[in-house]
């Protein structure tokens, strides 16, 4: 108790030093928490926009489809699986796709590209395909001969909404399939390659011309809770059986997840360098404060204060400053991350185009407004780390003190 009182008084006497230490500590804590929250937020958003643009959070395929993506490895009992999925409360939406290739022909030219069947209504719930519409209309489940085409692909084919073209492809039974199509709508995502080669038709129409009734190459699934995705993946795998493979975005977007990990590490390194500087400033203050009191500490030791109690005194001082600093910094940044989670920060002033171009090289989807991720348990851990760092700043002064016997310390001026 008396030690606590002494620690408080010592800090009050050296107000300037205490205030600077508290401010440095508050500032670095706030920065640490906020930068991490922004990182998490941008990564989460990157995942979301990348997954939602087209690949989806989870997908089912035939077991051998990944190695041999051909008609022998399809999901052949789509209705049965869709029935199973319907009853799972941890799934919020699902939709079947059939991905194939076709040769598209206009009067002028023929170009190869993707020819993919979607279930228009449920597809709108598992990807942003519908929202990516830029002209004409999105598909409906009653459509026949209607094509939903990427804008870049349309440019190559030199067609616009309402124009006719025809396709030739191989049906699911390896029969010859061909028909004419009318461009119903054009879409534009932020993935150039995708816009340049993708084309969609209504699945029930597709199943007729391609003889693919009840078959699908993929079933795309959105889990109810994205944070629970690993558990959902495991449970789903049990439910659908061994013939079907369940994957989630961490496997589908493996490169992206890896890129984000690298990004995270670099961000930690940058922060670490910054903290080393701040840590030294705080440690120097702690050192000066102890150095100026070596004599007084000698007296304390002489009249019966043990070395352990002297250590306690110094730790108490650091703890008081740390708790105040980390408290202020933590509270401020918790408030900020909470606020910016709902009001994403706009980085538009860096130039939308440049950011998009930058991400395009990695085939990622860029966003210019980034939300922070408010995560109280993580903030608590980060505050604790900062507090520990603060306590570590008295380590060196304590080592110095150990070199002095009480009388040496008392003779010190």
Q: Would you tell me which residues interact with another protein (CB under 8 A)?
A: 1-2, 5-6, 9-10, 13, 296, 299-309, 405-407, 410
Of the two residues 307 and 351, which places its CB atom closer to another protein in the complex?
307
Q: How far is the CB of 393 from another protein (least distance, A)?
A: 20
Strand intervals (E) in 242-357: 244-248, 345-346
**Minimum separation from the CB atom of position 412 to another protein (A):** 12
First-last CA distance in the chain? 28
Q: Name which of 21 and 233 has its Cβ closer to another protein.
A: 21
Task: Please say which residue, 79 or 307, places its beta carbon nearer to another protein.
Answer: 307
Instruction: Return the structure tokens found at 323.
Output: 């708790």
Nearest to 290 by CA among 387, 404, 388: 404
Residue in 56, 146, 158 with CA at minimum distance from that of residue 106 = 158
Phi first, then psi, for residue 219 (nearest 5°) are -120, 120
Half-sphere exposure of 320 (CA within 13 A, CB side): 18
- Nearer of residues 292 and 381 to another protein, judged by Cβ: 292
Distance CA 374, CA 338 (A): 5
- Residue among 273 and 303 whose Cβ is closer to another protein: 303
178: left (phi over 0), alpha (psi -120 to 50) or beta: beta
Nearest-angstrom CA–CA distance, 45 and 308: 50
**Residue 9 Cβ, how far from another protein at the closest point, in Å?**
4
Q: 272 or 302, CB closer to another protein?
A: 302
Q: Which is nearer to another protein, 162 or 308 (CB)?
A: 308
Tokens at 20, concatenated? 């600077």
CB-CB contact of 218 with 124 (8 Å): no
Are 106 and 157 in contact by the 8 Å Cβ rule? The answer is: yes
Q: Which is nearer to another protein, 7 or 25 (CB)?
A: 7
For 54-103, the DSSP string reads TT-SEEEEETTTTTS-SGGGSB--HHHHHHHHHT-TTEEEEEEEEEEEEE
* Mode of pairing for the β-strands spanning 133-136 and 176-187: antiparallel
Burial class (CB in 10 A: 0-12, 13-18, 19+), 282: buried
CA dist., res. 50 & res. 343, Å (int):
21
Looking at the Cβ atoms of 74 and 394, the one nearer to another protein is 394
- Nearest distance from residue 390's CB to another protein, in Å? 21
Cβ within 8 Å of residue 52, ≥6 positions away: 127, 128
Are the CB atoms for 293 and 314 separated by under 8 Å? no
The CB-of-364 to another protein minimum distance in angstroms stands at 58
The least distance separating another protein from the CB of residue 283, rounded to whole angstroms, comes to 22
C-alpha 249 chain-centroid distance: 11
- Smallest distance, Å, CB 306 to another protein? 4
Q: CB-wise, 2 or 262, nearer to another protein? A: 2
User: At closest approach, how far in Å is the CB of 401 from another protein?
Assistant: 12
User: DSSP secondary-structure letter at 161?
Assistant: T
Helix, strand, or coil (residue 334): helix
**Residue (143 or 317) nearer to another protein, CB:** 317
Rounded to a whole number of angstroms, the minimum distance from the CB of residue 303 to another protein is 6
213 and 108 in contact (C-beta within 8 Å)? no
Residue 280 Cβ vs another protein, minimum distance, rounded to whole Å: 27
Q: Please report how close the Cβ of residue 407 comes to another protein at its closest, in angstroms.
A: 5
């Amino acid at each position: 108790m008396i030690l606590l009182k002494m620690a408080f008084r010592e800090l009050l006497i050296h107000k300037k030093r205490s205030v600077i230490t508290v401010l440095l500590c508050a500032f670095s804590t706030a920065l640490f928490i906020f930068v991490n929250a922004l990182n998490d937020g941008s990564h989460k958003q990157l995942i979301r926009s990348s997954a939602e643009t087209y690949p989806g959070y989870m997908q089912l395929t035939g077991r051998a489809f990944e190695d041999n993506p051909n008609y022998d490895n399809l999901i052949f009992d789509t209705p049965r699986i869709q029935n199973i999925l319907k009853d799972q409360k941890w799934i919020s939406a699902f939709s079947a796709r059939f991905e194939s290739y076709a040769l598209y022909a206009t009067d002028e030219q023929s170009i190869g590209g993707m020819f993919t069947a979607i279930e228009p209504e449920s597809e709108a719930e598992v990807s942003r395909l519908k929202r990516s519409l830029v002209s004409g209309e999105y598909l409906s489940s009653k459509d026949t001969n209607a094509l939903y085409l990427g804008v870049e692909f349309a440019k190559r084919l030199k067609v616009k909404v309402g124009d006719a073209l025809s396709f030739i492809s191989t049906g699911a039974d390896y029969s010859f399939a061909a028909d004419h199509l009318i461009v119903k709508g054009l879409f534009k995502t932020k993935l150039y390659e995708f816009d340049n080669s993708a084309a969609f038709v209504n699945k029930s129409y597709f199943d007729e011309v391609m003889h693919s009734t009840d078959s699908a190459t993929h079933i795309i699934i959105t889990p109810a809770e994205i944070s629970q995705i690993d558990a959902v993946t495991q449970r789903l795998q049990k439910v659908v059986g061994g013939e079907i493979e369940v994957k989630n975005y961490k496997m589908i977007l493996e490169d992206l997840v890896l890129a984000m990990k690298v990004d995270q590490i670099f961000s930690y390194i940058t922060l670490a360098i910054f903290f080393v500087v701040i840590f030294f400033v705080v440690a120097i203050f702690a050192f000066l404060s102890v150095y100026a009191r070596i004599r007084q500490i000698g007296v304390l030791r002489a009249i019966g204060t043990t070395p352990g109690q002297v250590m306690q005194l110094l730790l108490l001082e650091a703890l008081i400053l740390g708790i105040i600093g980390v408290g202020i910094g933590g509270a401020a940044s918790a408030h900020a991350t909470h606020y910016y989670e709902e009001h994403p920060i706009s980085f538009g002033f860096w130039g939308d185009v440049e950011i998009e171009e930058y991400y395009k090289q990695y085939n990622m989807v860029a966003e210019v407004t980034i939300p922070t991720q408010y995560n109280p348990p993580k903030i608590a851990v980060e505050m604790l780390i900062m507090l520990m760092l603060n306590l570590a700043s008295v380590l060196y002064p304590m080592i110095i003190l150990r070199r002095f016997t009480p009388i040496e310390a008392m003779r010190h001026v």
